[in-house]
Amino acid sequence: MKDDGERKGPNSGEGLSERYAQDTFLTLVQVDEVFKESKLLVDIYAPAVGSGFELIYKQGSSFDSCLLIKEKEKPCTIYAHIKDRSVIIKQCLYKFSVALTSNHVTHSQKLHSLKNLCEKFSDEVQEFGLNDEMVETGIKISQFMCQLIKKERNIAEDLKPFSKQHLNANSHYFFITFFSIVIVQNLDWNSERTMETVAMGALFHNVGATKNKAMDGTDKTYPATSEEALRGFPIVPQAVRQIVYQHRENIDRTGFPNQISGLLIYPLAKVVALGYGFTQLFIKHECRHTPALKEFLNSKTDIIKYDSSIIKALVGGLIKK
């Protein structure tokens, strides 16, 4: 049984004997993410009888031959190898670009798809680091989020379907981006450019983190390491890097890395700072925005960290219209 992440390809001649003791090298996937034109894009694994995971279908298998997946009366939890995650992300991006303009897909389904994409994106970056493809993916996700949130005027309604069960270690990437877009959309100086810049800054806020370090909430070096990680990609505007670098600064000089005052903080970084801060409360309140807002507004130590105009934009954006 393998447990070191090394894996032979589907054509290695080993048949379907491939097994893993743990899910460390596997990632949970949905059926509709792994098929393209009725063919499996990647190898598929499922929990084995007893313990561990085993390869059940090989890349290239037809949908009809994948009986465990096909038979709806026997729902099957399926996994792909993490090395194939970028292929799945690509497929999810493609599917979302089609769904975005479709009237047959609900707004809520679209939001959940984007949340799923954000989580896969952050998993991939934490596991393997940034590369050109992932940077382009991040930019695309940011643009999709702006387009979707711009379309929907009732943000409060948008948030209703989310609950505790939708949260995982990387859900905050989605919510920080979501709330940052809501804020910038409700500021009187918003524009197409500022929205996308803010969305990218929010989504990329922690791209310098490795899987182990990402779990450490006390790490104060991550804005700098994330900004450095983005330097090699000219496609990422300097404004985005600036947001990443300063999104943990507070106007009362209690932030990091430089503890600078409000006047010196890049205005769009202040937006993501509140998007970040509010996301912590939103998650604490199990995805209920009203109690999260109440706690935030009643906390003197919280509200002095942010510009009043930005707080008003967040509350205004979340109040049911």
Partner 1 sequence: MNTAKFKIAKGNLLIVDDEPDLLKSLKTILGDCANTIFTACDGNEALKVVAQEEIHCIISDINMPAMNGIEFLTILRKNGNQVPFIIYTSYGNHDLLRKASSLGVFDFLDKPNIKNLEEVVRKGLESGFDKKHQIESELDDKIKNELLKKLDE
The residues binding partner 1 (CB under 8 A) are 189, 191, 193, 227-228, 231, 234, 237-239, 241-242, 245-246, 251, 258, 260, 262-267, 290, 293-294, 297-298, 303-304, 307-309, 311-312, 315, 319
Gap between the Cα atoms of 279 and 255, Å rounded = 17
In the bound state with partner 1, the residue whose beta carbon lies nearer, of 34 and 311, is 311
Q: How far is the CB of 159 from partner 1 (least distance, A)?
A: 13
In the bound state with partner 1, the residue whose beta carbon lies nearer, of 169 and 264, is 264
Q: How far is the CB of 86 from partner 1 (least distance, A)?
A: 27
Gap between the Cα atoms of 163 and 39, Å rounded = 33
In the bound state with partner 1, the residue whose beta carbon lies nearer, of 178 and 296, is 296
Q: How far is the CB of 199 from partner 1 (least distance, A)?
A: 16
Buried b (16+ CB within 10 A) or exposed e, 258-287: eebeeeebbbbbbbbbbbbbbbbbbeebeb
Residue 130 has φ and ψ, to the nearest 5°, of -80, 145
Cα angle 153, 157, 163; round to 5:
140
Gap between the Cα atoms of 126 and 118, Å rounded = 12
In the bound state with partner 1, the residue whose beta carbon lies nearer, of 77 and 290, is 290
Q: How far is the CB of 121 from partner 1 (least distance, A)?
A: 24
Gap between the Cα atoms of 41 and 137, Å rounded = 18
Dihedral, 99, 175, 232, 257 alpha carbons, nearest 10: 170
3-state secondary structure of 151: helix
Question: Which residue in 221, 320, 200 sits closest to 272, CA to CA?
Answer: 200
In the bound state with partner 1, the residue whose beta carbon lies nearer, of 284 and 312, is 312
In the bound state with partner 1, the residue whose beta carbon lies nearer, of 54 and 228, is 228
What residue type is assigned to position 81 of the chain?
A: H
Q: Is 83 left (phi over 0), alpha (psi -120 to 50) or beta?
A: alpha
Q: How far is the CB of 272 from partner 1 (least distance, A)?
A: 14
Q: How far is the CB of 193 from partner 1 (least distance, A)?
A: 5
